[in-house]
Amino acid sequence: MIRQLIRRILGAGSESAGKVKPKVYEKSAHGIALNDVSPNAMRVTQTLQDAGFKAFIVGGAVRDLLLGFRPKDFDVATNATPEEVKRLFRRAFIIGRRFQIVHVMFGQDLIEVTTFRGASTDEAPKDAHGRVLRDNTFGEQHEDAERRDFTVNAMYYDPAREQVLDYHGGMKDIRSKTLRIIGVPEARYREDPVRMLRVVRFAAKLGFAIAAPTRSPIKVMAPLINNVPAARVFDEMLKLLMSGHAMACLHQLRKQGLHHGLLPLLDVVLEQPLGERFVALALSNTDERVREGKPVSPGFLFASLLWHQVLERWNAYKAAGEAPIPALHLAADDVLDGQTEQLAIQRRIATDMRDIWAMQPRFERRIGKSPYKLLEHPRLRAGYDFLLLRCASGELDPEIGVWWTEFMAADGPEREALLSRKPAETDQTPNKRRRRRGGRGRGKADSEGSTELPVKGVLE
């Protein structure tokens, strides 16, 4: 209690000194309604304030509330240290190495609590390119505001007083729909190159223009992304692609010269009519699901983005004499190995991607027991949705998608009828045994050998 009393006295003194004071907006000016604020976030700020600390909802949640959006997450900033925060809550966990934060849990709801960061110092460990590796320096609120990336993310909302504190003109930039980095752009990008990806994501998501001084260094400094740990780049790319504005984000990446190395050959894909339509459909479907609050599979998303790279290498391997199915697996290995160096795609996600790709030739085997076996695949729905994308983009005959839609919805006799009515010419193969009619009597060789068939149509 003595430490808290001293902290409050010193805090009051520093404010009265008034070196850096925020512009304060009352409710009549900012218009945030308490009903739109997370009750758990308010509980965290109230608990911290009752214990003698400063506490504010901060960052993207304040920005979104001011714009009339429903925030996805609520973060809290305070002058309490992580250890002091942890002692105030029953379920609180300190995490992070670069900068320690506290996760306060209320059931499944997570409130992230950070201690005000101090001014950046030259003593903070950095890599050879100037990227800050670790910085646990705590400081005053105005220093914390200066350390934040963009002006629109550097505002603090106090639910108790219903006030917004603005240190860097964020309210003005929100009203003019402008993204502006705090401080010298080149220095801020060098400290953390991921900020270049973040400005692209926010510009696409919010429909904001990027201020010229914030935008101009990006193309020159884009190679610094290569020095960021691959896992962190992957996390940022996932946020970008699952923002609800994925296609706009990709176009912004290309416009700012940031896509090189992140999604190799993206330019080639988007310059080919089939590839561009396929990616556009995949991202449009993803955006729609995000906006409707439906779950989105990262595996499906990345499988879609990288499919035409797999397709290109698959065809190359087949042209070199490799059998179709081994060629598909080799192509998948090539693409995933190349991406892992830049994006560190998690093994679970990579497994989903492989399964989706490997199912595609099997969808074209619509005879015998093959369709029944495919119905048992644990990722059938993802593979089927992927097939529909290929049909919708013009890569495959739409009849294949229609057939599978009917087959999946049908009962036993209806499925047999679908198998019997399928045009024979689309099932012609060099193997004469596969030309026999009557799916139930063809035996083991056909069902086990189905994945060894040549791939038909545009995939050939």
* Catalytic member of 144, 149, 166, 287: 149
Which of these, 53, 187, 169, 52, lies nearest to 119 by C-alpha position?
Answer: 187
User: Where on the phi/psi map is residue 264: left (φ > 0), alpha (ψ -120 to 50), or beta?
Assistant: beta
Question: Could you confirm whether 75 is annotated as catalytic?
Answer: yes
φ and ψ at residue 203, rounded to 5 degrees: -60, -45
Q: Judge whether 149 counts as a catalytic residue.
A: yes
- Contact residues for 12 (Cβ-Cβ < 8 A; gap 6+): none
**Is residue 247 within 8 Å of 225, Cβ to Cβ?**
no
Q: Name 109's bridge partners.
A: 106
- Residue pair 359/328 in contact (Cβ under 8 Å)? The answer is no
Q: Minimal CA–CA distance to 281: which of 183, 394, 372, 156? A: 394
Burial 135-153 (b: 16+ CB within 10 A, else e): bebbbbbbbbbbbbbbbbb
Whether 192 sits among the annotated catalytic residues: the reply is: no
Strand 109-115 relative to strand 75-78: parallel, antiparallel, unpaired?
parallel
What length is written for the chain? 460
The torsion angle over the Cα atoms of residues 171, 177, 181 and 183, rounded to 10 degrees, is -50
What is d(CA 157, CA 151) in angstroms, rounded to the nearest whole number? Answer: 14
Tell me whether residue 34 is exposed, middle or buried, using C-beta atoms within 10 angstroms of its C-beta: 0 to 12, 13 to 18, 19 or more. exposed
Question: Which of these is catalytic: 64, 75, 144, 446?
Answer: 75
DSSP 159-187: TTTTEEEESSSHHHHHHTTEE-BSS-HHH
Residue positions annotated with a catalytic role: 73, 75, 149
